Amino acid sequence: MDRRSFFKYTGALAAGVSINSLAACSSVNEVSLGDVPFSYETDVLVIGGGPAGVCAAIAAARLGVRVLLIESGGCLGGMATQGLVAPFMTCFDSAGETQIIRGIFGEIVDRMVALGGAIHPRDVRAGTAFSAWITTGHDHLTPFDSEIMKVVLDRMVCESGVKILFHTSFVKPLVKKGRMEGAVLLTKSGLAASRAKIVIDASGNGDVAAAAGAPFVKGNENTGKIQPATLFCHICNVNYKEICADVEAHLHEFRKVDGVSYRALHWRVAEAEAAGEWDIARKSVNIYRGVREDEWAVNSTRISDVDATLSESLTAAEIEGRRQVQELMNFFHKYVPGCRNAVLKSSASTIGIRESRHIQGEHILSAQELLDGYVPEDSVLLASNSVDVHGGGSSASSTRYMTISAPWYGVPYRSLVPLEIDNLLVAGRCLSATSDAAGAVRVMPPAMATGQAAGIAAALCVTRGVAPRRLDYEDLHQALLAQDVFLG
Ligand SMILES: Cc1cc2nc3c(=O)[nH]c(=O)nc-3n(C[C@H](O)[C@H](O)[C@H](O)COP(=O)(O)OP(=O)(O)OC[C@H]3O[C@@H](n4cnc5c(N)ncnc54)[C@H](O)[C@@H]3O)c2cc1C
């Protein structure tokens, strides 16, 4: 397939896939503005200031177009800051030899390292406290400090000339004849509209694309199951030597039985369970050392069947997540050497959502393509992250983990171009992929790279006057290379 004809190919939707479209069940996608004022005129509107949205905004602004970035919270970084998710998964090839996710992701890492707020991934190896002692797929992670990340992102976004609006939420898309023309926003001073030539949905859940009428699948396309959610927490005052000694004395006991991973501290969980003091679905504790040796990120609460498109469901999950964090703290104090005096530094201000909507685009990335190391001709990034699917098996604690044998795989531009709606791109977790494939590319380094690609594509569409579906890949390819994106 040549590069000019790939847009004629539309990723065939797998038989039996349940495709949803909000526009099909209501008339939400053609909105009457009423008396909502047009307050913001821009070239590119980026909705969502998480890892993907930040990179999209910076990349577009560096190409000289006007960019408005809106974020419902009060800081940039999404799951990396508000969600306390850490560390960044790998940005290296599968052999652990070459850094393959560079570009704006690489700059963010370098600037955090310079401020003492991250450890460079080339110095972080699998099977250590930095990787929760996990070996497979966990080489060259990036431990970072979420407070330093907030200021680095503020600086980089401001330096690039992006206009940011915090405390501003997407309400409705403005769609005319199948084309995005902007969005209605909820600001602190009420409703306002933004007119934009291209809109990028970086909301994580695909709120914008779904509301505009792009088809989507929620959860797994075959089973409808959604991966469990997790409320992260960070703890400090941990005795590094003591916890390492306990885990390292039991490393030979790491195992997987019926899909359930028995990894760090499962022997302590067993003691707590025997005493009736463990009521969390996970059977071990995913605990990652941070930049400082006494500060650790804990990825261990587990809440099933959370629908991130419903406020009721998110609210219940956050309340249950905080309950589980308290249970974890009691567990640390009573059962874990090195954590007897640990202090809860913070629990995340928002529940961590692994999966919700997968927007259906010109190509639906499949896990098989990733596992085969397929590099489509319109690739906008290369990555090697493993397919990591939680809770899909017989118990909520089960995980399916598949590593790739090739050095890397490619993510095609077509997975950022939603079906049916023009002048819209998606980036980050909601990109067009099957549930399993999303289990690999949802992690932060590739999410940032999809954002950078979407931002570059949006800026080129503005300057060339073409719709994203018609963008010439050769043009995009050159612009990606010029922004230090590694494409092999
Ligand atoms: C439990 C868990 C563990 C994980 N572990 C890791 C890990 O160890 N390493 C790793 O690299 N990745 C990990 N990930 C994956 C990663 O954190 C996310 O998939 C990634 O952050 C996705 O980036 P994003 O920009 O698409 O979305 P998000 O990070 O979710 O950012 C979306 C942003 O959009 C904003 N937003 C949403 N809706 C609106 C709206 N309507 N209006 C305005 N703003 C809006 C949100 O406030 C948020 O800031 C994990 C995720 C979870 C949930």
- 3-class secondary structure for 143-180? CECHHHHHHHHHHHHHHCCCEEECCCEEEEEEEECCEE
pLDDT of residue 397: 80
Q: Count other C-beta atoms under 10 Å from residue 258's C-beta.
A: 9
Model confidence, pTM: 0.95
**What span, in angstroms and rounded, lies between the C-alpha atoms of 454 and 237?**
41
In this predicted structure, the answer to whether residue 357 has a pLDDT above a threshold of 90 is yes
**What span, in angstroms and rounded, lies between the C-alpha atoms of 279 and 262?**
16
Q: Whose CA is nearest to atom 21 of ligand 1?
A: 79
Say if residue 328 is in the same domain as residue 379: no
Peptide linkage before 337 cis (omega within 30 of 0) = no
Supply φ then ψ for residue 244, to 5 degrees.
-60, -40
Of the given ranges (20-29, 220-229, 426-435), which has the lowest mean pLDDT? 20-29
pLDDT of residue 33: 74
Nearest residue to 451 via CA among 487, 420, 425, 474: 425
**What span, in angstroms and rounded, lies between the C-alpha atoms of 432 and 16?**
17
Say if residue 64 is in the same domain as residue 175: yes
What region does 458 belong to: left with phi over 0, alpha with psi -120 to 50, or beta? alpha
Tell me the two tokens of residue 67.
Answer: 């960019």
Say if residue 269 is in the same domain as residue 413: no
pLDDT of residue 110: 98
Tell me the two tokens of residue 344.
Answer: 């809860």
User: Ligand 1 centre and the CA of 186: distance in Å?
Assistant: 21
pLDDT of residue 22: 60
**What span, in angstroms and rounded, lies between the C-alpha atoms of 266 and 299?**
14
Average pLDDT, integer, range 464-473: 98
Say if residue 414 is in the same domain as residue 330: no
Q: Which of 71, 203, 310 to mutate to test the pocket of ligand 1 (most atoms within 8 A of CB)?
A: 203
Q: Which of 321, 347, 373 is the last residue of a domain?
A: 347
**What span, in angstroms and rounded, lies between the C-alpha atoms of 389 and 435?**
8
Q: Which residues line ligand 1 (CB under 6 A)?
A: 47-53, 70-73, 78-80, 85, 87-89, 169-170, 202-204, 207, 230, 299, 352-354, 428-429, 442-444, 447
User: Ligand 1 centre and the CA of 80: distance in Å?
Assistant: 7
User: Ligand 1 centre and the CA of 273: distance in Å?
Assistant: 32
Which atom, in ligand 1's list, is nearest to the CA of 171? 41
Q: Which of 79, 188, 263, 300 to mutate to test the pocket of ligand 1 (most atoms within 8 A of CB)?
A: 79
User: Ligand 1 centre and the CA of 267: distance in Å?
Assistant: 31
In this predicted structure, the answer to whether residue 65 has a pLDDT above a threshold of 80 is yes
Say if residue 40 is in the same domain as residue 63: yes
pLDDT of residue 171: 97
Which residue's entry shows tokens 């907030």? 150
Share of the chain above pLDDT 70, in %: 93
CB contact at 8 A, 363 and 415: yes
Q: Whose CA is nearest to atom 20 of ligand 1?
A: 444
pLDDT of residue 1: 39
In this predicted structure, the answer to whether residue 488 has a pLDDT above a threshold of 80 is yes
DSSP code, position 224:
-
Q: Which of 347, 370, 397 is the last residue of a domain?
A: 347
Q: Whole domain around residue 11: which residue ranges?
A: 6-124+139-224+355-482
User: Ligand 1 centre and the CA of 49: distance in Å?
Assistant: 9
In this predicted structure, the answer to whether residue 443 has a pLDDT above a threshold of 60 is yes
User: Ligand 1 centre and the CA of 14: distance in Å?
Assistant: 27
Report the domain count for the chain.
2
Average pLDDT, integer, range 142-146: 98
User: Ligand 1 centre and the CA of 468: distance in Å?
Assistant: 24
Query: Domain of 151: which CATH number?
Result: 3.50.50.60
Nearest residue to 267 via CA among 289, 249, 281, 279: 249
Q: Which of 287, 314, 347 is the last residue of a domain?
A: 347
485: helix, strand or coil: coil
Say if residue 103 is in the same domain as residue 173: yes
